[in-house]
Chains A and B, each alone.
Chain A
Amino acid sequence: MNAVVQGHERVISLAEAIREGIEESFAKDENTFLFAQGVSDPSSMWGTLKGIDNRFGEDRVIEMPIAENGAVGIAVGAAIAGQRPIISFHRVEFALLAFEQIVNNAAKSSYISNGQHKVPLVIRMVIGRGWGQGPEHSQSLEPLFAYFPGLKVVMPAFAGDAKGMLIAAIEDDNPVIFIEHRFLHNSTGHVPEGYYKNALDGPRVVREGKDVTIVATSHGVLEAMRAADVLHKIGCSAEVIDMRVLRPLNVAPIVASVRKTGRLVTVDTGFVRFGIGAEILASVMTEAFNALKAAPVRLGLPDHPTPSSRGLIPGFYPDSQRIVREVGKMLSLDQAKVDSALKELDIQRKDLQIDQPDPFFKGPF
């Protein structure tokens, strides 16, 4: 996909933004190297690694044997010795094979060594969704990683932020779990050229509002934005917060927003139970209980694995329509208005199938 210039802003896909982030970091620091399975594949991990081997040479791009736990351990050892490895897993699920090294050595080396060791390591992993990928290629397991002190967990929603946060993650002296949603790779956005960093400092308000705070992660942010657009048309002003960084958790912007709106909806890409939304709700209720005008609502996945068939998917993912319905209930909005908002979302989707990316995306899956 070529860059499209809209006004003065260059628009490229999130996948291309990731690739640019890696390239900028490679150009800046020769200790940075990439470690992935199929690192020189023609598919180039959906374009995120395209041409990097040709530009920077084989020495910077190391093929990783099919050995995830070993690979993470090797990367930890290299990081302790002063290198800055980037590992890419094609799906989150493969990182489960590396959980031991991630939890025991990546997350704890700084702590156990009393600050003598640093582990500047980025582990990219991709959440699959759609086209029948099913129970073991579509899991959102970010709470597992966010559980551990010592790890940073980043989930970008926008292309420009993805590039800036990836560069920041590579330069960070800590292990960073960088989780990309497969539905976002083809999404496009304004991405500045060249080198820049976006701080890994936590949630940001991406749309201001006064009636309800919607806190979302990753692809959920796009669903929340779409919901906020149609809610605005029926007179409801929703504030949307992009979580960006799950750990270290910075709840201050969320608490500040809820103090203003008095209402909270969370939109997870993972399970509702024991999910990110649970942690956000607990934190907000502890810090701003008196500010709440209504019981908060958590949206996320139900308590069963992701089925493959599109016949089993309806209702599984929390989409913009569900967000609108929940906000409607929470604010006792006029049902006719809510129905009109839902209808508009229906029209936006047109003939889009349930197992395909939404209209925010271009190109085939």
Chain B
Amino acid sequence: MLRIRLIEEAIADHYAEGEMRCPVHLSIGQEAIAVGTCAALETSDKVYSTHRCHAHYLAKGGDLKRMMAEICGKAAGCVGGRGGSMHLMDVPKGVMASIPIVSSSIPVAVGSALADKRMRNGKVTVAFFGDASVEEGVFHESANFASLHKLPVIFLCENNLYSVYTPIDQRQPNRPLTDLAKAHGMQAAHGDGNDLDECYRLSVQAVERARNDQGPTLLVLDTYRWREHCGPAFDDHLGYRKEGELKKWEQRDPIRRFREKLGITFDAKMESAMSAEITAEIEEARAFARATPLPDPSQATRHVYA
């Protein structure tokens, strides 16, 4: 979590330099879900993510240098500069794709699970998405199919309460999001998405169900995006958030809470050593991304067809 936080903060701090010339959707404040879920998965398991994919990519083991290079539009980027920040993938690590159209990755993740079930290879696929995704028809189309065929897939809803600037209560009736799973005859669980242990525990249960042919699970984990929807800055001054809301969620910082839980087993000295190590890794990745070349224009026409 600390690593993801520091990487995201480094992106925010250096964004204005103009090297990272693509939209970025930072995961600051939402790290626990990515880390807890991916800790419950094997490397051979698969995740599909969204526009806000940095945390998922990193938690699943995605290569940092190739991520930074991708955000800088470089040939060494994880997709050669074709996608930017919203399209991170690291196939050997099981980060199959990040798809920035709301809900668009969900059926693809279900298809991945269908293929795995047909091949009986025991793999599990996680579809990460936000609270607005359940407003899209294709979420329901996917949930219906996955439940009908008991596919090894986890629908992981990160409820951060906002779709861009619009709060969930202007978009959805007041009912538990887990009720949506009931409608599709699917298991569901709701938890604190800023509590790493809880995220991990619920993910382990869902993964176990998926692996044992007991079908999909909808996990709804509550969290909060600290910064703007797209971009490096805080945006509390815009007034779309409720007063004091950001402060309240900052008090529930998943990193702070986990630090407190660890107590004396993780002291300030250990943390600063860890931070220094991560910072060095980030600097190395940034230097790599700066130094490595842009793709040749001739590459733009490649891979239109397989």
Contact = CB atoms under 8 A, between A and B. Distances in A.
Interface of A: 33, 59, 65, 67, 69-83, 100-101, 104-105, 109-120, 149-150, 152, 173-174, 248
Contacts of A101: 104, 107-108, 138
B101 A82 contact: no
Contacts of B113: 77
Contact of B305 (A59, A79, A112, A248): A248
Given A70-B145, A105-B108, A150-B305, A78 B115 contact: yes
Given A70-B110, A73-B107, A114-B80, 8 more contacts: A65-B141, A78-B114, A83-B114, A83-B115, A111-B304, A114-B303, A117-B91, A117-B96
A10 to B, nearest CB: 34
B244 interface: no
Interface in B121-139: 137-138
A81 B111 contact: yes
B109 interface: yes
B118 interface: yes
Contacts of B145: 65, 67, 70-71, 74
B107 A110 contact: no
Interface of B: 48, 79-80, 82-83, 87, 89, 91, 96-97, 99, 101, 104, 106-116, 118-119, 137-138, 140-142, 144-145, 148, 302-306
Nearest to A149: B304
A110 B145 CA distance: 25
Contacts of A111: 82, 303-304
Given A110-B303, A150-B304, A65 B148 contact: yes
Nearest to A248: B305
Contacts of A74: 107-108, 110-111, 114, 142, 145
B79 A119 contact: no
A71 B304 contact: no
B303 A81 contact: no
A136 to B, nearest CB: 19
Nearest to B81: A114
Contacts of B115: 77-78, 80-83
Nearest to B110: A74
A168 to B, nearest CB: 14
A76 B108 contact: yes
25 contacts: A67-B141, A67-B144, A69-B141, A72-B107, A73-B104, A73-B108, A73-B111, A77-B108, A77-B112, A77-B113, A77-B115, A78-B111, A78-B112, A80-B108, A100-B104, A101-B104, A104-B99, A110-B303, A110-B306, A112-B97, A113-B79, A114-B303, A116-B89, A117-B96, A117-B97
A154 B82 CA distance: 27
B304 A110 contact: yes
A110 B80 CA distance: 12
Contact of B306 (A76, A83, A112, A118): A118
B126 to A, nearest CB: 13
B127 to A, nearest CB: 10
B109 A77 contact: yes
Q: Which of A65, A77, A110 has the most chain B CB atoms closer than 10 A to its own CB? A: A77
A100 to B, nearest CB: 6
Contacts of A117: 91, 96-97
A152 B306 CA distance: 11
B115 to A, nearest CB: 3
Contacts of A79: 111
Contact of A77 (B89, B107, B302): B107
Q: Which of A70, A72, A79 has the most chain B CB atoms closer than 10 A to its own CB? A: A70
Nearest to A60: B118
A77 B123 CA distance: 14
B289 to A, nearest CB: 16
Nearest to A106: B108
A105 B138 CA distance: 14
Given A59-B118, A110-B305, A111-B304, A69 B111 contact: no
Contacts of B89: 113, 116
